[in-house]
């Protein structure tokens, strides 16, 4: 099968367009084949100008005359005007770009098929700006209206519209994809074995591709536009089926590796819980039990704990650590930022010391000698529990007997990093190569449809309950004009000793976007409304040590206001902070704002979250923010975010370790996903190692698409 060839060798694609295609993820013929149109244009009905209503798209047939080009005063390039007439009227065609190119093209006329948005011209009459044009006939000697219509209807069709990579025009994309479809659609492989195809009634992949790239004239255009044709359904099923098979194989592969049986230490855990000033929630108890049982199995654990901000993941993670340490193993806890690692360290140190556990911290800002000392204590086995950042894995930290790796805010780490820590070698008990258990923590609730896709190979525990007595955070969307009142309210809270956050989306002023940035706003707030208070600044460009110093001062209440970028998003815990202001809220995702909001409401006082949105923003984006007012449930917010913004934030190879989806849309295709999963599991029950002849294509699809993500050799 010759599909992976580079797109550069296609007609109409040179190095420049090749690079644009590649940048858009369309590097191979196969990528182009599966680059499906995102909508279709109906060019089957030719309208007359009298029928075409201003504001709507129309396909028209008629004569183009009186072409004239004129310079734009003081600007580069020129404007091209042309007069378009059909039997019912006239309209002006306008090109503000590529005037010379179209002037030459129009010399070929005079009869044209013209497609575009018909608008009322500023000085009366109709106009079409940047129409697409297709020559109907050259040098026709005054044909009758009927002739024109007859000619035009021979060209009637449904045209695919593609997402444009870079500057490549729509028409060129059509030609490029058209070539590939014509030559290679027949060699596209199917992931779904014949028996399953027949049962699910799938259209053959090559037929589906041809249908979608070049729909027949009688196709149902609404079904095409809603991705609801049998061809769509078939390709979506194909993709989800392969995904589920890949996920399941990966899980099987992992489970077939030797792991550690870490005996339960229920009494020790119970004694530890008894020392806490609170009782665990039911959800915490359930999840602790799930983890404990999983660790006690001889297969390596790979479990994700999903819990909303404040649901109490830290103590759950510590309980898991305690079980491993009680069984004589070491535990590593990895956090994405130094601040967070330090926070975990200071929380866990109290518990560890009471449990006679040797606990250490290791971050990137440690001096060489200090880092070496920690590494030695870890390597010698003296340290039971080490907490740190990437530094834990960057230089070879040798563990004497690593039994459990806890990864906090796991989505912040790349797949590769997660794998490094997961496979950190074990030596002490002579079982080199045995895999340590891993526990992933995430405060980003993932909608259920997505978690099946993202985590088909991971076991998930959900902390779906907040500790009792938490007051809900009062959330309000306000306009920028209401800022003065907001500042008064903040000042009042600060005079009572409370603290506030103000979060901005950018670090430095950007002329292009004219957004107030954290740095200059910190200054303005300090000079102006908060001149009686202490304003601090925290952003991503600061050195780790500077950030750290600022954060410490805020924690110690030496600062009243912390102006920050989203670096504070992850896990910062300052119970005395009760107001979170998010500026330019319209630029944030809901899930991200939910994380930010979770920085307040950590103490016993009522907390507020203010989302400041630009008045100029559209009504929709204002409505979107209202979701934040109406719910504090992270899962509900994640669902809403998924519907509004699509799954892009969660998907993508880097984050999830799965191939990107091309035909499927997880918001829309939940049902098909469940169906594909059922079929995938039953196929694997029938052919667990994909060695039967019917699985040959599936195997090839997987090894091409899951390259580096799945070790098929190991499975087979
Ligand atoms: P997150 O899940 O966001 O990481 P943390 O583990 O930081 O949450 O917990 C948030 C706060 O709630 C901490 O101060 C922690 O001590 C406290 N906490 C955890 N579990 C409970 C509980 N069952 N009852 C009361 N407070 C709890
Ligand atoms: Mg946490």
Which ligand is the nearest neighbour of the Cα of 470? 1
Q: Is the CB of 573 under 6 A from ligand 1?
A: yes
Give, for ligand 1, the residue of 273, 274, 306, 314 to mutate: max count of ligand atoms closer than 8 Å to Cβ: 314
Q: Which protein residue's CA is at the shortest distance from atom 17 of ligand 1?
A: 312
Q: What is the pLDDT of residue 429?
A: 42
pLDDT of residue 715: 40
Across 230-239, 392-401, 651-660, least confident range:
651-660
Least confident among 23-37, 390-404, 423-437, 492-506: 423-437
Q: Is 595 in the pocket of ligand 1 (CB under 6 A)?
A: no
pTM score over 0.85: no
Average pLDDT, integer, range 233-245: 93
Please tell me the predicted confidence (pLDDT) of residue 374: 93
Q: Is the minimum distance from the CB of 313 to ligand 1 under 6 angstroms?
A: yes
Nearest CA to ligand 1 atom 16: 312
**Residue 137 pLDDT exceeds 80:** no
344 lines ligand 1 (CB under 6 A): no
**Better-scored residue on pLDDT, 336 or 160:** 160
Residue owning the nearest CA to atom 10 of ligand 1: 310
Between helices 205-213 and 170-184, what is the axis angle to 10°? Answer: 160
Structure tokens at 575: 């119970």
The pLDDT confidence band at residue 607, using thresholds 50, 70 and 90, is: very high
HSE toward the beta carbon, residue 66, CA cutoff 13 A: 10
Specify whether the CB–CB gap between 694 and 687 falls below 8 A: yes
Does 283 have pLDDT greater than 50?
yes
Q: What is the mean pLDDT of residues 108-123?
A: 85
Residue 259: the pLDDT is 86
Which of 310, 343, 569 for a ligand 1 pocket mutation test, highest count of atoms within 8 Å of Cβ?
310
Mean pLDDT of 258-268: 93
Residue 534 is predicted with a pLDDT of 96
Residue 311 Cα: closest atom of ligand 1: 2
Question: What pLDDT is attached to residue 345?
Answer: 94
User: In sequence order, which ranges of 448-501 are alpha helices (DSSP H)?
Assistant: 448-454, 483-495
Phi, psi torsion values for 162, nearest 5 degrees = -105, 150
Q: Which two tokens stand for residue 691?
A: 């060695």
% residues pLDDT > 90 (the chain): 38
DSSP state for residue 488 in the 8-state scheme: H
Q: Is the CB of 311 under 6 A from ligand 1?
A: yes
Instruction: Please list, in sequence order, all residues whose beta carbon lies within 8 angstroms of the beta carbon of residue 318, skipping any fewer than 6 positions away.
Output: 272, 348, 351
- Beta-bridged to residue 305, according to DSSP, are 441, 461
- Mean pLDDT of all residues belonging to the chain: 84
Q: Which pLDDT score is estimated for 270?
A: 96
Local confidence band at 78 (pLDDT 50, 70, 90 cut-offs): confident
- How remote is the CA of residue 310 from the centroid of ligand 1, in Å? 5
Sequence-distant (6+) residues with CB within 8 A of 218 are: none
pLDDT exceeds cutoff 70 at 508 = no
Residues 500, 565: contact at Cβ < 8 Å?
no
């Amino acid at each position: 099968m010759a599909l992976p060839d580079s797109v550069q060798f296609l007609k109409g694609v040179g190095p420049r367009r090749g690079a644009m295609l590649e940048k858009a993820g369309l590097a191979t013929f196969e990528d182009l084949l599966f680059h499906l149109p995102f909508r279709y244009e109906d060019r089957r009905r030719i309208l007359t100008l009298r029928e075409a209503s201003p504001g709507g798209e129309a396909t028209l047939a008629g004569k183009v005359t009186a072409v004239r080009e004129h310079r734009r005063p003081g600007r580069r390039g020129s404007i091209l005007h042309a007069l378009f007439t059909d039997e019912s009227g006239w309209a002006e065609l306008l090109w503000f770009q590529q005037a010379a190119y179209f002037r030459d093209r129009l010399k070929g006329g005079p009869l044209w098929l013209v497609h575009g948005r018909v608008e009322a011209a500023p000085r009366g009459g109709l106009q079409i700006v940047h129409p697409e044009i297709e020559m109907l006939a050259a040098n026709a000697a005054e044909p009758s209206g009927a002739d024109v219509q007859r000619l035009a209807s021979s060209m009637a069709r449904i045209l695919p519209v593609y997402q444009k990579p870079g500057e490549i025009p729509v028409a060129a994309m059509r030609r490029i994809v058209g070539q590939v479809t014509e030559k290679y659609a027949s060699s596209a492989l199917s992931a779904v074995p014949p028996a399953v195809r027949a049962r699910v009634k799938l259209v053959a992949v090559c037929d589906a591709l041809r249908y979608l790239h070049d729909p027949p004239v009688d196709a149902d255009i609404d079904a095409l536009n809603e991705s609801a044709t049998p061809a769509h359904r078939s390709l979506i099923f194909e993709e989800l089926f392969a995904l589920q098979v890949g996920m399941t194989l990966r899980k099987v592969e992992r489970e077939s590796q030797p792991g550690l049986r870490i005996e339960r230490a229920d009494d020790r855990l119970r004694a530890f819980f008894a020392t806490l000033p609170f009782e665990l929630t039911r959800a915490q108890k359930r999840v602790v039990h799930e983890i404990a049982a999983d660790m006690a199995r001889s297969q390596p654990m790979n479990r994700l704990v999903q819990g909303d901000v404040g649901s109490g993941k830290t103590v759950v993670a510590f309980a898991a650590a305690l079980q491993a340490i009680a069984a004589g193993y070491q535990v590593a806890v990895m956090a994405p930022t130094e601040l967070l690692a330090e926070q975990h360290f200071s929380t866990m140190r109290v518990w560890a010391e009471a449990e006679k556990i040797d606990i250490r911290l290791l971050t990137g800002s440690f001096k060489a000698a200090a880092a070496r000392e920690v590494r030695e204590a870890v390597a010698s086995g003296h340290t039971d529990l080490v907490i740190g950042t990437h530094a834990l894995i960057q230089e070879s930290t040798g563990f004497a007997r690593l039994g459990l790796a806890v990864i906090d805010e796991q989505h912040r780490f790349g797949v590769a990093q997660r794998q490094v820590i997961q496979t950190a070698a074990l030596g002490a008990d002579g079982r080199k190569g045995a895999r340590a258990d891993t526990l992933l923590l995430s405060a980003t609730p993932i909608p259920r449809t997505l978690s099946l896709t993202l985590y088909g190979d991971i076991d998930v525990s959900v902390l779906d309950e907040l500790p009792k007595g938490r007051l809900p955070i009062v959330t309000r969307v306000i306009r920028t004009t209401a800022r003065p009142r907001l500042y008064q309210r903040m000042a009042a809270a600060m005079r009572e000793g409370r603290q506030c956050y103000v979060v901005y989306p950018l670090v430095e002023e950007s002329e292009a976007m004219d957004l107030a940035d954290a740095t200059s706003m910190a200054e303005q707030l300090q000079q102006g409304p908060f001149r009686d208070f202490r304003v601090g600044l925290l952003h991503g460009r600061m050195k780790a040590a500077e950030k750290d110093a600022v954060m410490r001062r805020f924690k110690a209440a030496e600062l009243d206001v912390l102006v920050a970028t989203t670096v504070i998003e992850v896990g910062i815990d300052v119970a005395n902070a009760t107001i979170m202001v998010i500026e330019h809220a319209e630029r944030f995702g809901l899930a991200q704002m939910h994380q930010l909001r979770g920085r307040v409401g950590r103490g016993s006082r009522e907390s507020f979250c203010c989302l400041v949105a630009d008045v100029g923003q559209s009504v929709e984006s204002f409505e979107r923010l209202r979701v934040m007012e109406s719910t504090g449930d992270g899962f509900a917010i994640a669902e809403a975010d998924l519907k509004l913004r699509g799954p892009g934030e969660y998907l993508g190879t880097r984050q999830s370790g799965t191939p990107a989806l091309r035909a499927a849309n997880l918001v829309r295709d939940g049902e098909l996903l469940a169906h594909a999963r059922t079929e995938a599991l039953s196929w694997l029950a029938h052919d667990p190692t994909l060695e039967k002849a019917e699985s040959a294509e599936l195997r090839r699809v997987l090894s091409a698409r899951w390259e580096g993500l799945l070790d098929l050799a190991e499975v087979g």
